[in-house]
Structure 1
Amino acid sequence: MDKYTQIAARILLAQIFLVTGINKIGGYAGTQAYMEAIGVPGVLLPGVIALEIGGALALMTGYGARWAALALAVFSVVAALLFHHDFADKTQFIMFLKNLSIAGGLLLLFAQAETGNRS
């Protein structure tokens, strides 16, 4: 894959995590309450924010991008299963599929870096 295409792909994959991580800081109490309402301990929120923002920056810069991609892929699947499992709600079903699609792209990035095709 062309170097510039790889950079663009990493940025496109990263932007959702960067924006949502920053938004979680601004809406910390609401996000924490939402997590707890689902049964996820709110004490995990700082780690979630760090993973989203740190992982996004790693993807964007390419520094540690392979492992960030794997961590964010796992995070995306876990988030889909915990927060978007109401398939009767069309929006939740789409969000579930979105998370799985993002995880797929991140796994491709992880696998592509594994073969030595780094940008």
Structure 2
Amino acid sequence: MTLLTPISSSKTLTDIALLLARIGLSAIFILAALNKIQYFDGSAQYMASAGLPSSLLPLVIIFELGAGLFILAGLATQLSAILLAGFSIVSALLFHFNLADQMQFILFFKNVAMAGGFLALAAQGAGRYSVDAKLLKNN
């Protein structure tokens, strides 16, 4: 282990870090989907205010919940992570692009940061503590 690679020089630490990354990255999408279900009408109005048809809301909920659960479990992680990175960027552009508003500025770059995290996860894979690892072990 070196000062420059304290995690990547240890397979165990890498796998723990990937698990924690998957938990953190998935939580926001799982919770967002549940929030959209709980406040369905308000969420539909918010989508409509951004110029999107509110009829897309059920698809957004299914995507956020499904992809979030896939990331959490480490199932089809690289594909799910790439899709969520794209979703994060599109959401930033559609809902948070008023960069003159400080809160929207923060939310915009939060989405950009999440996309970066998902791309790093896509590049690295889910790690040992994942469904992907179990499936690949059987091949």
TM-score (norm 2): 0.79
> Which residue number corresponds to residue 85 of structure 1?
97
> Which residue number corresponds to residue 121 of structure 2?
109
Matches of 1:3 and 1:38 in 2, distance apart?
Answer: 39
Structure 1 runs (4+) deviating above 6 angstroms are none
Paired AA for residue 24 in structure 1:
K
Distance apart, 1:63 and its partner CA = 1.1
Matches of 1:24 and 1:107 in 2, distance apart?
Answer: 25
> Which residue number corresponds to residue 23 of structure 2?
11
Distance apart, 1:118 and its partner CA = 3.6
Which has more radius of gyration?
2
Paired AA for residue 18 in structure 1:
I
* Structure 1 residues 21-100: aligned runs within 5 Å: 21-100=33-112
Distance apart, 1:41 and its partner CA = 1.1
Higher helix share goes to which structure? 1
Q: Is the 8 A contact 2:93 2:108 kept in 1?
A: yes
Q: Is the 8 A contact 2:19 2:127 kept in 1?
A: no
Where structure 2 has 5 or more consecutive residues not aligned to the other structure, the ranges are 1-7, 9-13, 129-139
Distance apart, 1:5 and its partner CA = 1.6
RMSD value, Cα: 1.2
Where structure 1 has 5 or more consecutive residues not aligned to the other structure, the ranges are none
Percentage of identical aligned residues: 42
Matches of 2:107 and 2:17 in 1, distance apart?
Answer: 26
DSSP 3-state at the match of 1:96: helix
Matches of 2:72 and 2:53 in 1, distance apart?
Answer: 29
Report Cα offsets for 1:44-65 as digits up to 9, x if no partner. 1111111111111111111112
